[in-house]
Amino acid sequence: MPSREWTRAGATEKWLVIVGIGEDGADGLSPKARDLIAQAEFVFGGRRHFDLAGSLIGGEARPWPVPFDSAMTEVLGLRGRRVCVLASGDPLHFGVGATLARHVDAAEMQVVPAPSAFSLAAARLGWALQEVETVSLHGRAVERILPLLHPGRRVIALTSDGDGPKAVAALLRRNGFGAARVHILEALGGPREKVSTFPAGELDERAFDPLNVVAIEMREAAGARVLPLGPGLADDLFDHDGQITKREIRAVTLSALAPRRGELLWDIGAGAGSVAIEWMLAHPSMRAVAIEQDAERARRIYGNAAELGVPDLRVVEGAAPGALEDLPAPDAIFVGGGGSDEGVMDAAVAALAFGGRLVANGVTLEMEAVLLHLHARIGGDLTRIALSRAAPIGGMTGWRPAMPVTQWAWRKP
């Protein structure tokens, strides 16, 4: 018979509990959290969690498998039994609870959070958490922090290990932010807690506790590499061989693509990857696949994505339409190169779900003919974009026109 703590929601038993635990161990847990751990038949967690809560565990302790099983096979196999999962801090904030929530309905589980590392760091520094940028670099590329590095802002980053602070400081220095003030908060909430502060330019090779958070106070710095929020990054921020959607055209293109949170873009004929990169910079939830048949350009896309803060951009080396097979279904597609090749535009049109957006740019007569035909056949909007830039003419200045771009934008009905 279920204990009083394993309750029912309607006809659904809450068989799974997820308890957040801090570095203060059992002493920091509420009576309810203690009871849930003690009454569980099976308790999952890391070795550190078992050390922290060992005195409370009455059931069978099952450490997470190595490598970690994100499918949660063992936990799900015990559905209906009293199962407890121990997690660090707030289980649903970059924690194992978020992974479990993809597999277990909320009606089947109860979550008892502890303060997150972000909350503890903000509390120690006296920072208003709603005014701070937060990012997890745990198991992720350190470059993910780059879009957040704006003068005058504060950032809190969760790292993977004791080398995390040095990696963050090195990235700050490379991008001209050596004057930023860096706080390293180690083992927050426990007896080993320690807070150290350094300028990023002076953070040396000293060792830090593997359990640490890095908090950054950004300072104004001449020549620092700041990634602006609006679309249309400067062309010279990208490594390219001339095959790049130019800044002004890119801004218009992203406006036509109309990014929405959580969406996936296919960037076909990606060149330098500029459109896919800026799509992902619009919000951390954005995803993109850059398809590029030239091996050297594909290599550049990888480098550009890392240097501009979106290292998770997926690059597929190959020619469309063949390279589009087996890719996850897109919410939007941009065709910047190769659109006049046989089958490319038809494949793009077919790949979109209802309501998906397709934007294609053409500078050649051949591509323009393709876009005119598509417009006549299935509709959409045609736009001619013509730009001129001021340039020297003898000893004076005049306008030099760039090649006009024909843009076709279409939403699948």
pLDDT tens string 1-49: 345 566 655 446 899 999 999 999 999 999 999 999 999 999 999 999 9
Stated pTM of the model: 0.91
> 274-281 and 295-307 are packed helices; what angle lies between their axes, rounded to 10 degrees?
20
Rg (CA), the chain: 26
Distance between CA 269 and CA 367 in Å, rounded? 13
DSSP-based helix, strand, coil % in the chain, nearest 5: 30, 25, 45
Here the tokens at position 384 are 């001619």
Least confident of 179-183, 206-210, 269-273, 355-359: 206-210
Q: Among residues 185, 163, 199, 176, which one has the least CA distance to residue 119?
A: 185
Angle, CA of 55, 43 and 34, to the nearest 5° = 45
CATH architecture of 235-411: 3-Layer(aba) Sandwich (3.40)
Backbone phi and psi for residue 28, each to the nearest 5 degrees, phi listed first: -90, 0
Q: What is the C-alpha to C-alpha distance for residues 53 and 23, in angstroms, rounded to an integer?
A: 10
Number of residues assigned to the chain: 413
User: By the 8 A CB rule, do 309 and 171 touch?
Assistant: no
Q: 264 near 333, Cβ under 8 Å?
A: no
Tell me if 124-217 shares its fold with 235-411.
no
pLDDT for the residue numbered 338 = 87
Q: Indicate if the pLDDT at residue 304 is higher than 80.
A: yes
**Out of 200-204, 228-232, 260-264, 301-305, least confident range:** 200-204
Domain ranges of the chain: 8-114, 124-217, 235-411
**Burial class for 173, CB neighbours closer than 10 Å (0-12, 13-18, 19+):** middle
- In words, the CATH class of domain 8-114 is alpha beta
Q: In what order do the strands lie in the sheet with 109-112?
A: 60-63, 42-45, 83-88, 16-21, 109-112
Q: Which residues pair with 290 in a beta bridge?
A: 267, 315
**Per the structure block, which two tokens stand in for 194?**
């320690």
- CA dist 162 and 206 (Å) reads 9
Determine whether 220 is exposed, middle or buried from the number of CB atoms within 10 Å of its CB (0-12, 13-18, 19+): exposed
- Residue 412 tokens, joined: 């699948």
> Residue 4: its pLDDT value, please?
54
The CATH code of domain 124-217 reads 3.30.950.10
Distances (CA, A) of 54 to 46, 47, 96, 149: 11, 10, 19, 41
